[in-house]
Amino acid sequence: MSYEEETEDIPFTAEMEAEFRQIARDNAPARLAQLAKAQDDTDAFTHLPYAAAAAFHLEQFADARQFAERALVLASAFKVNWNYGNAIHLGHTVLGLLALNAKDNATAINELYESGKMPGSPQLNSFGPTMQLARALLKEGHVEPVLAYLNQCREFWEMGGIWLDLWERKIREGHIPNFFQHNNV
């Protein structure tokens, strides 16, 4: 059994999910502090996507929305920046998670699609995207949008084929993948 299969074979318990959330909350203040130190739009653009996710994890939802939206607005001026794909991906992911919190599944699904419409980045191309919004949508029963998102991910995450194949198979079998290493930002 491959490493990827082993990580997906382990049941993802509520306790494990709580641990992932706690790790994200523990890391959040440092990410917000990095944004607070930004001297200009270039610095801010580097930190905004991660600050948006950090604010979301701390349940500072207004800040999360503001940071995500600002990252997306600034993205048009930074299309050749290494962080462009991260900003698009995380900005839309956070907006999708916020929509899910507001019980607006249609907007959350649209944000999932938008999060996959980018050229990738050094991080996304190597380590892959966050699956936090995809997992949340699967819990709500939205299988087809998540499968479409996985196909979008194939466009930029060439190294992730084994993960994407495994997750697709599990979803088609009626399971929610663990997404262990891709569950938080």
- Which among 59, 126, 65, 62 has a CA at the least distance from the CA of 90? 65
- Least confident range of 5-14, 41-50, 77-86: 5-14
Domain limits at 47? 3-182
Domain count, the chain: 1
Q: What is the pLDDT of residue 182?
A: 75
| Residue type at 104 in one-letter notation | D
CB 130 within 8 A of CB 137: no
Span 22-80, pLDDT tens digits: 999 999 999 999 999 999 999 999 999 999 999 999 999 999 999 999 999 999 999 99
Query: How much helix, strand and coil, in percent to the nearest 5, is found in the chain?
Result: 75, 0, 25
Tens digits of residue pLDDT in 147-185: 999 999 999 998 999 999 999 999 999 999 998 777 667
Structure tokens at 180: 């262990």
pLDDT, position 180: 74
CATH classification at residue 129: 1.25.40
Per-residue pLDDT averaged across 1-14, rounded? 87
Give per-residue pLDDT as tens, 92-127: 999 999 999 999 999 999 999 999 999 999 999 999
Q: What is the pLDDT of residue 165?
A: 96
Query: Residue 141: helix, strand or coil by DSSP?
Result: coil
Residue 7 has pLDDT above 90, yes or no: no
